[in-house]
Structure 1
Amino acid sequence: MTVHCSSTLLRAINFVCLKSAVASLGGVKHGLMKTLLLSTFALLTLSTYTYAQEIRSDIDTISILHIQLLQPSTPGTPSYLKRPANNSVAGATIAIEDANITGKFLGYQLSMQSLSAPTITEIKTQLNEPNYHNANAILLDAPSSDFQAAISVLQQHLPEAVIFNVANSDDALRTLSCGIPLVHSIPSYQMKADALAQWFRVKRIKEILALHGKHHNDMAFLSAFKQSAKKFKLELVDVKQWSDSFDLRRAAFSEIPQFTRTKTRYDAVFTADFDAQFAYALPFNTYYQVPVVGDAGLKSLGWHATHEQWGARQLQNRFTETFNRPMNEVDFAAYLSVISIATAIQQMTSEARASNTKASQSLPHTLLSDGFTVAAYRGRPLSIRPSTKQIRQPITLAHEDALVTHAPLEGFLHQIDELDTLGNINTTCAKHNN
């Protein structure tokens, strides 16, 4: 009988080794050996407890504040397509659990508080409460209409905190990061549109019909796709806005073919439909039977439940078991934000402690420094684009039942980073344009 444990100093022995020792006791027959194992186990437990006590006496607590501006549900959206109530906060919760496993032995601990309200005024009132004053990082889930106001309020109340945009893909927000520690962990619409355009080029699909709804995000996604079409030499044969308000679940078969009828034949349909008003009825129901992409059919996302490579399966499984639903891209953006915070602490802890500086005080500098990377189940290190403070990341192309591929696709190259073939790399901040 052999117990396999780390050969490093007893102080670094973790609880996995202790569990192995405990499990091995069940098969021990000789009393002397059992006594020796029990004694060893007691020493290991005492050593680990003593080490943990030493860590806790010098632990650095990083406080994270999750803020969500509640958005009313849009009439006509099918119930099965509505956004979950715990959107983003669920991903952050899983990430904190993961980060604190390592933090226990490296001398840091992450904690999270959450507040939500339908208006900026209510958020501002809640921020006056003392228990929110020590937040080192903020996860912000806010619509474009309230985003700048939310940033202003947060800068006023928590000027030292790093802010992560975990839910808004609007490219216009990527120009707000001049002088502000604002990081975008959710992919931008331009990144998503470029991923779809790369797929079109690989599949030699050129003529596209573009459909969009009335929501601000629909217009933002459409604008990004128009730029991608120009960049990758695609042709938009027509652009149409969905304006009907009836229940498509009863009329889709007759209405959608007429809506998608055009004078010029198209090879695919791009759709921008943030509120799920019509796009879900497009696949297999368009006038010409062609692929549907965007907010229905083949979707371009920061994360999808079908992604299982590079260890992602175990994250997917834990999330589903905990929250009884699949992990979506907003959940993953929040997860990525928290893991980025933890990674920054790990990369700078020794230097910070050598100068008797608390990790929380050095967090913004380390997180936004050159060379910072984070591992997050994406098959490559992720970094922050200095010009827009957008986290570079692959875009998952997937439909409801399966993963298709990850962009950037093979053959699309960039002189600095292949991930920079996705999205805008320039900003209005002249200092950071590259």
Structure 2
Amino acid sequence: MALALFWVPGVSFAAGKQVINIAYLTQNRVQPPQWLWFDVFAKEAGLAGAELAISDNNTTGKFTGQQFELKKFIVPAEANTVDVFNKDINGKFQFVVVNLPPQQVLQIADAAANKPVLLFDAGTIDDALRNAQCRRNVLHMLPDRAMRADALAQYLTKKRWQKWFLVTGPSPEDALFTEALKRSAKRLNMKLVVEKKWQHTYESRGTAQAEVPVFTQVDDYDVLVVADEQGEFGDYFQYRTWSPRPVIGTQGLIATAWHQTHEQWGAIQIQNRFKDMAGRWMQEADYGAYLAARAIGEAATRTQSGDLAKIKDYLLSDKFALQGYKGNPLSFRSWDGQLRQPVLLAAARSMVAVAPIEGFLHPKTELDTLGHDQPETACHYEEKHEN
């Protein structure tokens, strides 16, 4: 009788254990010129989160006969990540954690379109990647701009701070966040009293004491909302506005997937474990990579399989629930691949609130009050999964 042998990329057996290989692809980051000297710049932010998740996966794997291995591909800043993906990863790994800018994620997703590969986007927050530019082979781990803007708007609704002064920076990313903020303002009946663009240069922040009061001498408003994703000027609005008003957005009160001040729901344990391992506090990129590798581990454990189709089906099913240390279990939206999750609202040294804010209701889950719900989505790839 003939024995048929099948090779599955990324899955093997060793010492009686099923070995599941996960590729981690990133590119060395260059410190931006506006980075403040006292902030920690983690050149390879994200990797430590994936490594911690692999350790957690293998703790469970000891009892389930599974072993998880992380293969790291760290591309030099001047090299081409798509070339590295095609040469070393595409078709050789079923599960790939990608920590790269949006355009590179799309290029890699398209390169892998006809391969048995599932990408876990651990770093982007672009709404477009979850909407018109969505790809069926990509799952997104971090909350996008729409989810963040909705989280802030919910909190401002609770506080009855409904009159906004919106300030937008010069970068394309600032414009994208402004678009998300305007969407949220419209959804929750907020009023944009004033909208301005910050035109001053990076060097001008040394004279912020003089410029900001003049810039903010406008009609009455409740809160100053800043879109400055590069961190070039937003911090200098606090305590310098003409009228005494709180600052929220990308500076002041921020919406984030993770924050070093978060300690509820077991978060303090993972914060300390990460700090002991990496020598620094967990950043958003670390959290995104952690969730990606843990999602693979959770699905592999529950299905007792390393098969891509079985794991993907489970990830997108109603059965999947991932511990994210934020109270609610996390799960994927089948219509766009976004991981639904609470969003933390934090100041520099304190947690302020966790969205969704109490009182915002939804027929399926309150987590879907954040971001693009299924009726709103512009992601129209043919769906295989029930919602």
Length-normalised TM-score, structure 2: 0.88
Change (3 A) 1:133 1:150: closer
Separation of aligned partners in 2, 1:84 and 1:379: 28
Q: SS in structure 1 opposite 2:336?
A: coil
Quote the residue 1:123 is aligned against.
81
Do the aligned partners of 1:139 and 1:163 also contact (CA within 8 Å) in 2? yes
Q: How does 1:186-197 map to 2 (within 5 A)?
A: 186-197=142-153
Separation of aligned partners in 2, 1:72 and 1:336: 24
Structure having greater relative contact order (Cα 8 Å, sep ≥ 6): 2
Quote the offset at 1:201 in angstroms.
0.6
Percent identity between the two aligned chains:
33
Quote the residue 2:324 is aligned against.
376
Quote the residue 1:417 is aligned against.
365
Q: Which runs of 5+ in 2 are unaligned?
A: 1-12
Provide, for residues 271-308 of structure 1, a one-character-per-residue CA deviation record: whole Å limited to 9, x for no partner.
11111101121211122211111111111111111111
Change (3 A) 1:82 1:314: closer
Do the aligned partners of 1:64 and 1:136 also contact (CA within 8 Å) in 2? yes
Task: State whether structure 2 residue 170 is matched by structure 1 residue 170.
Answer: no
> CA RMSD of the aligned region, Å?
2.4
1:143 is aligned, of 74, 95, 101, to: 101
Quote the residue 2:4 is aligned against.
none
Separation of aligned partners in 1, 2:78 and 2:368: 34
Provide, for residues 175-209 of structure 1, a one-character-per-residue CA deviation record: whole Å limited to 9, x for no partner.
26766221111001111000100111100101111
Separation of aligned partners in 2, 1:424 and 1:131: 32
Stretch of structure 1 that moved more, 264-273 or 241-250: 241-250
2:197 is aligned, of 229, 238, 241, to: 241
Quote the residue 1:271 is aligned against.
226
1:112 is aligned, of 49, 56, 70, to: 70
The alignment of Structure 1 onto Structure 2 pairs a total of residues equal to 370
Do the aligned partners of 2:261 and 2:351 also contact (CA within 8 Å) in 1? yes
Quote the offset at 1:249 in angstroms.
5.0
Task: State whether structure 2 residue 252 is matched by structure 1 residue 297.
Answer: yes
Give the letter aligned to residue 401 of structure 1: R
Task: State whether structure 2 residue 117 is matched by structure 1 residue 161.
Answer: yes
Separation of aligned partners in 2, 1:281 and 1:179: 38
Do the aligned partners of 2:323 and 2:329 also contact (CA within 8 Å) in 1? yes
Change (3 A) 1:247 1:130: closer
2:54 is aligned, of 89, 96, 113, to: 96
Provide, for residues 94-133 of structure 1, a one-character-per-residue CA deviation record: whole Å limited to 9, x for no partner.
1111111111221212211222336797223323545775
Do the aligned partners of 2:91 and 2:117 also contact (CA within 8 Å) in 1? no
Separation of aligned partners in 1, 2:318 and 2:17: 26
Q: Which runs of 5+ in 1 are unaligned?
A: 1-54, 353-357
Quote the residue 1:9 is aligned against.
none
Quote the residue 1:49 is aligned against.
none
Provide, for residues 43-79 of structure 1, a one-character-per-residue CA deviation record: whole Å limited to 9, x for no partner.
xxxxxxxxxxxx9533222222222245544333323
Change (3 A) 1:259 1:116: farther
Stretch of structure 1 that moved more, 404-413 or 238-247: 238-247
Length-normalised TM-score, structure 1: 0.79
Task: State whether structure 2 residue 6 is matched by structure 1 residue 58.
Answer: no
Q: Which has the greater radius of gyration?
A: 1
Q: SS in structure 2 opposite 1:60?
A: strand
Separation of aligned partners in 1, 2:73 and 2:147: 29
Separation of aligned partners in 2, 1:274 and 1:187: 15
Quote the offset at 1:381 in angstroms.
1.4
